[in-house]
Amino acid sequence: MITSIKLEEKQIQIGDRVYTLRVNLSVLERIQVVCGGKINDLLKRSLYEGNAITMAAMLNDWAEDQGWEQDWTEKKVKKLFSANMMNMLDVTGMFFRAMTPEPSTETPKTEEGEPEDNSGN
């Protein structure tokens, strides 16, 4: 279960509006709905189709946050963004980095709160 994710953000301008693209829990929920309840089904689609679904979810999420009346669909995204444009925005990378937990940089500690001795002795 995903409880929190890091937010990588990118800004793009479409017409007179600036959108902040990010993959958050709301975006993941939107993707899940489009994929019939299974977010893993996104991976069964073509890269272009998966990117378009992810872009539509990110654009709709930002528009809703701003109170804009927008309804981005996969079809509308494909009309505006080529596969190369979405690759340049690294939509796939944003999705996977949001789904991958960052490795812990903390040193393991003993019950007393002291750093563990991992010398192998």
Q: Count H helices, E strands: the chain?
A: 5, 2
Burial class (CB within 10 angstroms; exposed 0-12, middle 13-18, buried 19+) of 71: exposed
The model carries a pTM of: 0.77
pLDDT digits (tens, 9 = 90+) for 57-111: 999 999 999 999 989 999 999 999 999 999 999 999 898 888 776 666 666 666 6
Give the pLDDT score at 98: 84
pLDDT (tens digit, 9 = 90+) per residue, 16-37?
Answer: 999 999 999 899 999 999 999 9
